[in-house]
Structure formats: C-alpha cells, structure tokens
Amino acid sequence: MTTISQKDPVAEAVKNMVPPDQSGISYVAKRYIVAALTAGSANAFAFAVQNPEGVDCVVTNVVVDITTAGGTASSVLDVDVAANATSTGDDIIDGLNLNQTGAFDRHKDSGTNGGAPVKWGRTGERTTT
C-alpha cells in the first residue's frame, strides 16, 4: 500500500491517491453532496438530487441532520435511489422518525429495509426521500 506524506510533492501525492488504471472502471474522487431538506406535507419529497458525476456511482452513506423536529406522530423519512424525482424507496434509510433532532445515517439508523449501499446510475436516477 502506498502512503502519502505531507513532505511529498503535490503531484506525487495526488498520483498516489488514485488506484492503478483498470479497464472499464472510472475513478472519481470521493464526493459529498449537501442538500437542504424541504419541509412539506404528507408524502412530499424532502429532497431529490441527480447524479452529478456522469458515471455510475455507489451511495455508501447518507447523513440526515435534523435541527428542528416536527410533524405528526407518524412523520418519517425514507431515502433511496429511484428512477426519477417522483418515485420512492427505502433501501438506504427506512422510516427515520422526524420528531427528533440530531444527525442520523444509513449505518446506525437504517430502519427495517434500509442499510444498503446502492448503485446510483449516471442518467435519470435520483437519490430521493
């Protein structure tokens, strides 16, 4: 395994961060996408984000930071990759209680059906709630 040191020249450090080329595999830098949640009515979408990379990716985590709790007793949030901004699913996070505050993610707060890393296609698919 190659290590990177602060003493390395910038070009050498960057070269060592990228794995060797493999046929058919495009590497992109790990990215964080930040989207504000939109308050809404029952069955309304809190966010929808289209894949910005231009290549298929894997969603390895989603973090939901709830700063103001609210809603009815049954207000929950589901997160998944779906075909479009009007489809739903719960493979990443299932049934997150919105009547609490804090930071929640797919590892600790996945719910019954959630917890999976999910393939995010390069065209048309959106990560939605």
pTM of the model: 0.73
pLDDT, tens digit, for every residue of 42-86? 667 788 888 888 888 889 899 999 888 877 778 889 999 988 777
The pLDDT score that the predictor gives to residue 33 is 85
**Per-residue tokens: 56:** 């298929």
Q: Which residue has the higher pLDDT, 69 or 23?
A: 69
If one compares 83 and 27, the residue with the highest pLDDT of the two is 83
pLDDT at 126: 63
b vs e for 55-75, b when ≥16 Cβ sit within 10 Å of the residue's Cβ?
A: eebebeebebebeeeeeeeee
The reported pLDDT for the residue numbered 38 is 80
13 pLDDT higher than 60: yes
Residue 114's CB is within 10 A of a number of other CB atoms, namely 22
Angle (CA) 46 96 102, round 5° = 90
Which residues lie closer than 8 Å to 125 by C-beta, 6 or more apart?
50, 51, 81, 82, 83, 84
